[in-house]
Structure formats: structure tokens, C-alpha cells
Structure 1
Amino acid sequence: MSYNTENIRNIALAGHAGTGKTTLFEALLHAGGTIQTEGSIERGTTQSDTDAQEKERGHSIDSCIASIDRAGCHINLIDTAGYADFRGGTLSALAAVETVAIVVSAGNGIEHGTRRMMEHARERGLARILVVNKIDSDANKLRALVDALRDEFGTECLPVNLPAQDGKHVLDCFFHRDGATDFSSLEEAHQRIIDQVVEINESVMGTYLDAGESSLSPQQLHDAFEQCLREGHLVPICFVSARTGVGVQEWLDIADKLLPNPSEGNAPPFLDTDGDRVIATPDPTLHAIADVFKIVNDPFVGKLGIFRVWQGTIRRDSQLFIDDSRKAFKVGHLFRVNAKQHVEIDHAIPGDIAAIAKVEEIHFDAVLHDSHDEDRIHLAPMHFPQPMFGLALEPRHKGQEQKLSQALLRLAEEDPCFRVEHHKELNETVIRGLSELHLKVMLERMRERYGVEVVTHPPRIAYRETIAGKAEGHHRHKKQTGGAGQFGEVFLRVEPLERGTGFEFVDEVKGGVIPNQFLPAIEKGVRQAMEHGAVAGYPLQDLRVTVYDGKYHPVDSKEVAFISAGKKAFLDAIGKARPVVLEPIVDVEVAIPEANVGDVTGGLAGKRARIMGTDTHRGGELVIKAQAPLAELTDYPTELKAMTGGRGRYSLDLSHYEPVPPPVQKQLSEAWKPKVEDD
């Protein structure tokens, strides 16, 4: 099918787990003619849940992309995971779309994931549409849900269609208003949304006031509607039943007629190396620029980089560059990803979502381009939650170390919220994710895909060290071995910096008492000491080191001597500068039934948590916001499950570092001393 950029719609289905996103995805693909038969979650036959873990658990873990072609409109649809544990893939999908369709269950109403996705989409400047699914319900419940959506997210939330005949039909209340609904006056709903749309544009508003609605053309209404979406002035509400198909064709009509195309949406800014904004233009004749928003390691086609084209045209057999690399690669195969199918295509225009295979250098968030005019730009970074849950691991069977390393690399390529760390001082490999469940799924995938089994244990908490005061240090390194000796003497000062600043190295040496060529060696020695810690064996941060005096010998002074002198002078100063151990403090959000609030807040208080506030939402759900030391939350998933009967949910994000209580510092320091003495 032939189409241009104006015919493309890029839409992500998002929302809380269990709202029916995957079933709606199937229904839309079937209604749009992409698939002949709708799959079933229960039978494990859906287009999007193809991974063994997804089939076993009955919910999405990864995002899935498919397209629909109907009457000149090409819709790229992305089904995303609802569980917060897997939101890395969900958030990365937002980098490829103009519109987020946030699915809400008519029975469950507004849930924690609904609020999160509304906020993420708003922050990203994306058009939002609320899709009320499972409308096989009574009209009073649906009416109450619309009121709740407007109370929660603003009066800009307005129905664009309404259910009728107990959810057996939906009626358009934007372009047409004929028919009776179970809900409210169709005329009233029509008037509300028209009034909301026309007030965004002075010219349209003037025409409407002077000559009435009949004087407005469909194009004028579309343009005003699209502007409302882009500026957040309107969040349409529409009704569907993915299970019965009610409202599904009407939803596709809304996507076709009213949702923004790539020329109309808010294009995300690219940044050059100086931090200046560069806006890509959806012109197919300009240099090509695309952003990789998803990596898949496919067992049949190899590594697959899925990207959104922002500017220019990418053609099969053309040459592309990755980021600032000067080495081009040939686009041997260009694919349209259609759920389980990879369909080869000749070219991809602005707004298209496409994929290339077997390019090992490609990575998540890579910028693909065909001109070195674009080799210094990147997409403005997305905010991903910091993976705070950790597991240290090692292969269960000897000889699989290399296989384990490769498997972890592949898994980390696919998930921006899955990290792999290797701690050299402990010879410990640590994986980090968003939750216990997140890590469990990744380990199961590693076993199933790559045949690697591991043994796990809790990792060390990522403590840090710093200083609370100023001090000076000195060391003379002198070594005579019979031949040429070693000599270097260093005087330096240390002082604390603001939390999160990092490290500064300052040269205040006067008169050449230490030649310039030895200053990098002093800094190297300081950095070595910072890496291994001075109080409890954790890296030092947030301090300034100033070298102000020293001595050298014209024959015996060597780089190695000043490395040693710098390291020991630094440790001498640190010992006098009131060193402290810092611990990671995380922002905790716990969503629970209101009946459990006493147990949960009491449990958090016992973990040195500070309660920052609570929000009560309709349906009796309460969200507790707190800050707590990460070290206190090791067993929190099990505890929360026990307190709430499995109904509680929580999320963590790194907030900051702050000093541990003195008893904890003493305990950490004493545990480290025996290791130092053994060394």
C-alpha cells in the first residue's frame, strides 16, 4: 500500500495491567484487516504476547508493534506492558509515537498505572486519548467513570462518542449527534466537545460565533481538534469493548480522522553536542534521521534495531551511520515489523516505523543518519526510572562465564531499565532492575533463550563515601633499590562539595616544585584511592582535591612515585576530614487498599522511612509517598504482599544519597577492616 507522512498515525496503547490492552490490540488488528482471526491470551495465541514468559504469565512484558492499512491511512500501533515492573519498554515506545491511547477498564476505573501513563504522556508533550474498555456494564457506572476521569485529569477530558443499548453500540458525538444513548444527552455531549475544540483557535472561534457550527468545514474541525490534542487542551474519551468488538471500528475512524499525523504532532527535540535544540523536519527529501527505540535479539533474523524515521527517507541498500561513527553500514534488508512477521520493504518515509537486522553496532537510542551534518546530534534523553533492585550472580556450572556474559549483554541491549555491573574489587557481577519480578523474568529468559543457569545472592548495597570537613594530607614516597630510585612528595587539601557534584581536581602548584607532567599521575593515585574507599570500602564522591606543594628529584622522580604519593597523601587527608558513609535514599510510592494504611505506614516507619504524603483516590485506593533507605527495603516485596493480601503495589526511584546513622557506619567500617588487614 502506498501512503505519505500525512496518512500515518503512530499510537501506543498504554495503561494499567489488566485493562485489556492486548485484547484491544487483537481486535483493532482484526478490524483493520491485518489478521484474519483474533488471538486469545488464555490460549497463548495473541500477536503481541509471543515470549514464553508472556504466555505463561498471561500478560505483556515487552512492547509489540503492528500496522493497519485502511482507506489510505497507515496506523502503526504499539501494545505496551501494563505492569510497572516492565515500564522500560513502555516508556521507550513513547519516543516513537504522536499519540498515547490510555486504556481504562470500565469495571476497575482509574488505577495507579492510569495516572502514571497520563503523566508520562503529558510530560512528553504527546496527544492523549482515554479509551474506556469493557463497556458491557451499566450506564450509571460508565457515567460515574467519566465524572471520575474529569475530576482526576481535568475538565478537558470529554467523550468523543457514547455507549448505547447497554454497550452494544457507540454513537459519535463529535461529527454526528443522532440517536439515543444510555448515558446522557448526545446533543449535550456534542455541544461540550465542540465548545472545547473551537476555543483553541481564534479564527475558528470567530467563524463559529458569527455563523454557527454549520459554517465550519470538517477540515477546520479536524485542525482545531488536532491542535487541542497537541496542546493538551482536549483529552478525548471513547468507549469500546475489545471482547465483543463494539466501538473498535469507530476507534479506527477516530484515529484516521482526528488523531495527529507525524507532521502535526509535537516532534521531540534532537540535541547537538553543544546542547542546542535541533528539530527534525518530516520532509522525505532531506537528509535521513531516525532514532532506534527498541532492540530485539531475534533467533531467526539476528539483532533487530527498530526505529522511527523523523526526517528524510531510508532506503534498502543505502548507506547509514550510527551516532558519530565515521564507518557506514549498508542497509541490506529493511523490514516493517508486523507483530510476529517481518515484512521486507523498499523504503521508510518520515513517520514510518521500520527495522534493520544484523548490525551489531546498533543500540537503543542510536541516531541513524546518512550525512555527517547529523553525526553530532542525539534525541533529547528520556527519563527512565533508576533500576534499584539488585542480584549478584554467578554461573551454576563452571566454564559458562563467557556464555553468561554474552547472555547478560543481549538482555541489557533490549531493556533500558536492566543494568549489568561488574565490581572488580569483589569480582562480583550484579544485575539491577525495577523489581524482584523484573529480575526473575530476566533470569528465566536467560535460561530459556541462552541455556545459562545462575546462582544468585543479595549484592552489596551501593553505598558511597564522602567527607564532612576540610583537611590537608602529605606523603613522601622514597624508594631506593640499588639502581635508579623512586621519589615523589605531595601536599594536598581535601574539601567537601555539594551532594551530587562528583569530583574536582585542582592544581595550585607554584614555582614548578612539581613538574606539570607528574600532575596526571597524582590525580591517578587520588582516583585509585577514591575507587576503593577510605572508611568502609565504597567509592568516594562529592569532594575537591587541591594539590598545592611538593617536591621532585630530577633523576629518581617517576610517574609511579607520584601515583603512590598522591594516593597516600589523599588517604592521609581523608582520615582527618571527618569521612562519612552515604546510603542511597529512594522515593517510594505504595498503592494499597485504604484498609491497610496503618500496617503499611507503620512498616515503613520501622524502615527509617519518611512519609512525604498520601493521596486518596476513588475506589478506596490510597497512594503513600515516602523516602526510605534502599538497604531497608530488601524484603519489602514479600512484606507488602503479606500485609495487603497481594493487593499492594509499589515502585522505587533513586532520590539522593545521605549519611548513614553512626551505628550503621561503625558496623560497615568494622566489617571492612578485616578485609583490609587480610590484604
Structure 2
Amino acid sequence: MGQNGSNGSSPAPGANPISKLGPRCIALVGPFQSGKTTLLEAILARSGAIQRQGTVDAGSSVGDASAQARHHKMSVEATFATTSFMGDSYTFIDCPGSVEFIHDMRSVLPAIDAAVVVCEADEKKVPQLQLILRELEDQNIPRFLFLNKIDKADKRVRETIKLLQPASRVPLLLRQIPIWKGDLIAGFVDLALERAFVYKEYAPSQIVDLAGEDLSREREARFTMLETLADHDDELMEQLLEDIQPPRDKVFDDLARDLRDRIVCPVLLGCATRANGVLRLLKALRHEAPGVAETAVRLGVQANGDAVALVLKTFHTTHGGKMSVARVLAGQAGDGTTFTTSAGAADRVSGVFKLMGSSFEKRGPASAGETVAFGKLDHAKTGDTLSSGKQPHAPLADVKPLPPVLAIAVQAKERKDDVKLGAAFAKLSEEDPSLTVVHNAENHEVIIWGQGEMHLRVATERLADRFAVPVVTHPPTVGYRETIRKPITIRGRHKKQSGGHGQFGDVVVEIKPLTRGTGFAFEEQITGGVVPRNYIPAVEEGVTDALQHGPLGFPVVDVSVTLIDGSYHTVDSSDMAFRTAGRIALVDGLPQCQPVLLEPIHLVEIVCPTDATAKMNAILSGRRGQILGFDTREGWDGWDCVRALMPESEIGDLIIEVRSGTAGVGSFTFKFDHMAELTGRAADQIVAARRAAE
């Protein structure tokens, strides 16, 4: 029986139990540059969806079709492609492997039936693999592991499994072993099917007979596989103890059940570039991956005959407008269906589309299990639960973006594009919820927060390429402040005569420093009505005005101002005059109060593999960080959490060093802790730069 044959199960004539599972949705996930996009291409070629297998390097793949993905030769967003295999429909989702774009993967996981984790025998990528597997484990997703680039393996498969096992909480179950020809892998043995296959480049593998050393290796490896399965099957355990060979159908049933119960992660071998092992992977998905019914139960879908769908991704296309990619989990939805989000917003579907990379092809209604794009759902956002019922459906998933770690200030290259930039930001945030746009009114800056340098670079490229708004960027302004060390009492007088009524305001204020973090306090101790009560609020406004820009060029904090004396004119005094007098008193007085610069200090927590902890300590120390200590990361074997106090100015590009020192997997969170005095050359340079900018 060739690789296009069955896996050994024997359904009744005319029956097709697999098709009852409905259209399935499978995510291809894994570390950066593990070959996910190439595997998608091989799957589409093997299943007949495309005539020829393209490549990432040539820019001819179905995945990575965006201008940014092709330019950088890496996946920067989830790619969807629908195909069929042996009469069953599948949508495969090629998810980015870089931690900077991981939110696209996290957003699609709740609605998929299973994941194929693509990885290779590279010890440096084990931490990345652990990040991916942890997401799948936390969301209870059944998963296969596809050991890619097997043709370039320099380790025995058992050594590789031992290397990768620490990344998985459940056993990595070897389903296949390689057939060696010298130092090269010529094919594989399917341990469940008990058949050997020799690879044929870009063609189905050829069955060969097992003999000699290959046969003894197969028997040993098969027994190890069955022992693992027997941990959850008493009947199988008894058969092994009695040296009874279990029926092949029972072995496949156990494999399917353990996969769906997420108590093992089956491991398959292959080479996506040559399409080796791809048909066997498709067979495993067909017979063992769960269908939409089980996924709906896992998510808690309450359909009641209505259509229910989960939005996985949002696109804004040039000609088709907004497209909401969604998995239909129950019922049927077509052109004209009215969907209501869990928040109660309703929209009418304008077109249903089949997905194939960057192309959208109009099609008929979508049934349970299908993954399609719905047109013009203006209120729907990525992660929304949609229902055609009279009442909104409870949210099926809540995948929040990871905390941002890097920011840039952005402005349109040409002032005429300012309005367009605001609209582009709104669409960009819809397409990628892990981007956060913040308007900093104090510094008149628009700040984009993201997951790393490449993430923000792609975002600015999209603004120019997709939304026709070229931008310029610079580091965000650090939130420096200033305060005073010395008290002073000073008079502020504003007197102006220009014909008719003049302007007169006269105040005496006492300026004192306050405890760090107190902020600003204003009091009055006026006696005898030397400053009428109705003018005192205006004095406070003038004082507040002056505190916005202190003698060093920054807002002034931790200052107490007390109005103690003054005078007024019955005709020429006014609110504006006393406001001006209050401001003059502060402008003249603050430079005499020994002003000092304050810089914001944040509490930073870095998470990293344990073997990188020493590097993180060195990085923190080199950035003026005060290390508070470290602990093991809760729930993560082999990871630490390092805590430190660090100036905001040093956090700016911290993530670049953290990722460089942790093979791309380290990250951090931070929150404001306190303001601290900054003196000396560093303070002088900051003040000089501020004055030059002004």
C-alpha cells in the first residue's frame, strides 16, 4: 500500500467517518525560521491546491505574500489557505514564528482543531519551542510536532527528542523513525502502520521491506511508543505485558484519543522543502485531529440553531474594504447574515470569501467548521464572538496582547497627511491589536507601542505601503521633571498702564520643596484682604502655568506655593492681572530655589531562560539598573525572573539587548516606581538638549 493508501482502519463500504468531522482548521506554528511557510506550500502542492511549490526566497509562496513579509523574508502576520485532501476540507493557518508577531498566532489558537508545531533539531531554538508549546498547552490545543529539515539532521532522532522534551509538559511521542543510508536519511518507518517508506523528491514515498537492523530498530521504537500509550490504556498495558501484539486499529484509536485529550504530542518526520513526509502528516491530521464539534465543546459554544463564529484576523483590503476572517463554529452564515458581537453591535455580512494567501475569492454560505472571510463587518474586531441569534453570544475567547516592550514617536512626513494618519492608525490597530497607539498631549507626540524593533518597522512600512501615509519616527520623549531643593519668598508684580483701565496685580508667595512624589500644593494665608478672595484662584492658575515649564525646561513637581501677601488696585486689578503676577513670581523665584532634574525610575521584571540570567544582570547593570534580585519564574521550568529599578531613559531599546541575549525569547514588563534626582554631566546634557530643541 503506497503513501496515498489508508492508515489501516477499515470503515464499512461507502462510509466515510472522517468527513463527519466537517471542515477542519489547523495552525502551523513553531520557532522563527523553522519552515512553516515552506510546509504550507508543500501541503498546498501535495493536496492539489497549487500546481507548483513556491519558495520563500523567490517570493513565490502563497504564505508571506505581503510586501513586508517578502521584503524581510519572514512571516509578519497569519496567512490562511483552504484546500482539500481525500475529500475533506482544511484551512491551514501559517502563523509567524517571531516572538514580535506572536499575537497573530495567539489570536487564532482558540478556534483551531489542532496545531502542527514545526521545529528542527536545534538546541538554540528550544526556548522558542517552549514559548510556542506553552501557548498551546494553556489554550488546551491538540498538537503534532513535525520535525522538519530531517535531511540536514546531525543528531539521532532519539537524541533530538531528548533535547526537545524539556520544552513540552507532555511526552513527545515518536511516531516515526528514520531509515539511514550511510550518514543520510533516506526515508522513515511509520511505527503505527508498521511500514517503511523511502523518500522520493516532490513525489509520494515508496514502500520498501523492513529487514535486518531497520527491522530491529522498528520493533524497539514501536514498543517504546506503545508503552507510552499504555500509560493511559490498561487493556493495552496488559497486552504488552503478555507479549500480545495489539490490533493496528486499536493503536490508531489510542493515538487519536491521546492526541485529542492532549496527553501526548505525536512526533512526525519530514522535509518541507522536498515535500517529504507531508502526505503522512496529512493522513495523521485526517484520522486523528478532532473536528469542529469537539472544538465547539471546548470553547463552550451555545448555538441553539444560530450561526456562531469567532473572528481570527482583520484585514483592510484596497478594493474589498474590511475583511473579518472567522471560523464558523456552529450553524451556517452567508451573504446578508446579520451578526451581533458579544458587545451587542450588529452588522450585515456583505460577501463571503474563500481564503488563499493574499487572495479572497467570493463563495457561497459557510457551514460549521469552515474558515472564511466576511465582508464589511464594521463593528467586528479580532477576537470577537459573532452570533446570528437574537441575543449576543457570550465571548468564546479572551486573548489579550502581551505587554508592549518598545515605542517610537511617529508623525506624518507631510503635514497634509495628518488626518489620513489618524485613520490609518485606526485600521492598523484593527489589523494588529498588539500595536498600541498613544497620544502624548504634554509632548505633542503620537507614540506607537509594539513587541520589538521589527514589529514597529513593519508597522511604519504598512502605513506607507498599504495606507499611503509615509511617516518619520524618533524615540519618544522621556518624562523628565524638575523640582527644587531650597525655599524662597518672592514678590511677583504685574503693572501696566496703556490708556483707560490698566493692569495691576501684586502677590508675595512662599515657594518650598515637598517630599518626593507629593506633587503640587497651593495654599493662601491672606489677612486683611490685601488680595481679594475672588482673585486668589487666578493666582493659583498663574502659579500652575509657570510650573509647566521650569527653569531647566521641564514641568516642576513636588513644590508647595503659599500666597502670603500682596496688594490690589480697585480699578486696574483683574483675574488676568493676578494670574500674570502669580506666574511672574514663580518664573523669577524658581531659578533661585536650586532647581534639580528628576528622572522617572521604573520597576523592570525580565523573564529569561536560566542560562541567560547572568547576561541579563550585566545588561541591567550597564544601563544604570539597580538589581533587586531574581527568582525562578513560576510555572516555567528553566526560567528566571530578574527584578531591577531602572531609569526610563535606559528602557527605551532594552528589549533589543534582552532578545539578543536570550536567543529571541526574553521579554520584560515595567511600571513607574518613583522619580529620582539626576545630577552631573548626564543632567547637563539633557538640559542642554532640551534648550536646543526649544
Structure-1-length-normalised TM-score: 0.72
Matching residue of 2:279: 249
SS at match of 1:65: strand
Letter in 2 for 1:235: C
Q: Deviations over 1:413-464 (max 9, x none)?
A: 1112111111233332111111122111111121122222222222145799
Matching residue of 1:361: 379
Matching residue of 2:37: 22
Structure 1: distance between partners of 2:328 and 2:233: 30
Taking every aligned residue pair, what percent have the same amino acid on both sides? 22
Cα separation, partners in 2 of 1:307 and 1:640, compared to 1, 3 Å: closer
Residue 380 of structure 1 and its aligned partner are, at CA, apart by 3.3
Matching residue of 2:428: 411
Structure 2: distance between partners of 1:2 and 1:140: 39
Cα separation, partners in 2 of 1:223 and 1:651, compared to 1, 3 Å: same
Q: Deviations over 1:282-301 (max 9, x none)?
A: x7x62222111200111132
Residue 329 of structure 1 and its aligned partner are, at CA, apart by 3.0
Structure 2: distance between partners of 1:325 and 1:614: 43
Which structure has the larger Rg?
2
Matching residue of 2:390: 372
- Residue 73 of structure 2 is aligned to residue 58 of structure 1: yes
Cα separation, partners in 2 of 1:381 and 1:56, compared to 1, 3 Å: same
**Maintained 8 Å contact 1:462/1:583:** no
**Maintained 8 Å contact 1:292/1:365:** yes
Structure 1: distance between partners of 2:318 and 2:195: 51
Matching residue of 1:561: none
2:330 to 290, 311, 334: 311
Matching residue of 1:602: 618
- Residue 340 of structure 2 is aligned to residue 336 of structure 1: no
2:51 to 36, 43, 68: 36
1:297 to 298, 301, 316: 316
Q: Deviations over 1:359-393 (max 9, x none)?
A: 32222122211113335x22331242111311112
- Residue 93 of structure 2 is aligned to residue 78 of structure 1: yes
User: Which sits farther off after the overlay, 257-266 or 64-73?
Assistant: 257-266
Residue 614 of structure 1 and its aligned partner are, at CA, apart by 8.5
Matching residue of 2:473: 456
**Maintained 8 Å contact 1:168/1:246:** no
- Residue 257 of structure 2 is aligned to residue 227 of structure 1: yes
Cα separation, partners in 2 of 1:102 and 1:371, compared to 1, 3 Å: same
**Maintained 8 Å contact 1:298/1:304:** yes
Cα separation, partners in 2 of 1:42 and 1:319, compared to 1, 3 Å: same
Matching residue of 1:280: 301
Residue 280 of structure 1 and its aligned partner are, at CA, apart by 0.6
Residue 38 of structure 1 and its aligned partner are, at CA, apart by 0.6
Letter in 2 for 1:359: L
SS at match of 2:340: strand
Structure 2: distance between partners of 1:74 and 1:456: 45
Q: Deviations over 1:27-84 (max 9, x none)?
A: 1111111111011111101001111121121111111011221123222211111111
**Maintained 8 Å contact 1:126/1:266:** no
- 1:125-140 correspondence runs (5 A): 125-137=140-152, 140=155
Cα separation, partners in 2 of 1:469 and 1:70, compared to 1, 3 Å: closer
Cα separation, partners in 2 of 1:613 and 1:210, compared to 1, 3 Å: closer
Structure 2: distance between partners of 1:533 and 1:128: 58
- 1:517-666 correspondence runs (5 A): 583-589=601-607, 601-607=617-623, 608=625, 610=627, 612=630, 625-628=641-644, 629=646, 631-636=649-654, 649=664, 651-661=666-676, 663=678
Matching residue of 1:90: 105
Cα separation, partners in 2 of 1:144 and 1:77, compared to 1, 3 Å: same
1:423 to 432, 437, 440: 440
Cα separation, partners in 2 of 1:475 and 1:233, compared to 1, 3 Å: same
Q: Deviations over 1:168-217 (max 9, x none)?
A: 32221123256368697212222222232244355x55885799866657
Matching residue of 1:196: 228
Letter in 2 for 1:193: M
Matching residue of 2:9: none
Structure 1: distance between partners of 2:288 and 2:476: 51
- Residue 454 of structure 2 is aligned to residue 437 of structure 1: yes
Letter in 2 for 1:325: G
Letter in 2 for 1:244: R
Matching residue of 1:506: none
Q: Deviations over 1:268-292 (max 9, x none)?
A: 54xxxxxxxxx115x7x62222111
Structure 2: distance between partners of 1:648 and 1:207: 45
**Runs (5+) with no aligned partner, structure 1:** 270-278, 479-484, 490-524, 541-579, 616-621
Structure 2: distance between partners of 1:266 and 1:612: 41
**Maintained 8 Å contact 2:601/2:676:** no
1:45 to 36, 60, 77: 60
**Maintained 8 Å contact 2:149/2:270:** yes
**Maintained 8 Å contact 1:134/1:242:** yes
Structure-2-length-normalised TM-score: 0.70
Cα separation, partners in 2 of 1:139 and 1:633, compared to 1, 3 Å: closer
Matching residue of 2:138: 123
Structure 1: distance between partners of 2:652 and 2:418: 27
Matching residue of 2:405: 388
Residue 599 of structure 1 and its aligned partner are, at CA, apart by 6.2
Cα separation, partners in 2 of 1:653 and 1:266, compared to 1, 3 Å: farther
RMSD of aligned Cα (Å): 4.5
- Residue 193 of structure 2 is aligned to residue 175 of structure 1: yes
**Maintained 8 Å contact 1:287/1:312:** yes
Cα separation, partners in 2 of 1:82 and 1:464, compared to 1, 3 Å: farther
Q: Deviations over 1:514-566 (max 9, x none)?
A: xxxxxxxxxxx9xx99xx999x86999xxxxxxxxxxxxxxxxxxxxxxxxxx
Structure 2: distance between partners of 1:625 and 1:471: 32
User: Which sits farther off after the overlay, 174-183 or 382-391?
Assistant: 174-183
Cα separation, partners in 2 of 1:463 and 1:256, compared to 1, 3 Å: farther
Structure 2: distance between partners of 1:174 and 1:636: 49
Q: Deviations over 1:209-250 (max 9, x none)?
A: 7998666573x5455333322443211111011112211111
1:236 to 256, 260, 266: 266
Letter in 2 for 1:91: R
Aligned length: 566
**Maintained 8 Å contact 1:208/1:216:** no
Structure 2: distance between partners of 1:463 and 1:97: 47
Cα separation, partners in 2 of 1:393 and 1:318, compared to 1, 3 Å: closer
Cα separation, partners in 2 of 1:448 and 1:415, compared to 1, 3 Å: same
Cα separation, partners in 2 of 1:604 and 1:364, compared to 1, 3 Å: same
Structure 1: distance between partners of 2:556 and 2:284: 56
Matching residue of 2:25: 10
Structure 2: distance between partners of 1:533 and 1:345: 61
**Maintained 8 Å contact 1:588/1:650:** no
Cα separation, partners in 2 of 1:467 and 1:38, compared to 1, 3 Å: farther
**Maintained 8 Å contact 2:613/2:642:** no
**Maintained 8 Å contact 2:55/2:61:** yes
Cα separation, partners in 2 of 1:4 and 1:251, compared to 1, 3 Å: closer
Q: Deviations over 1:296-342 (max 9, x none)?
A: 1111321110012223222333222233335x433231112122332
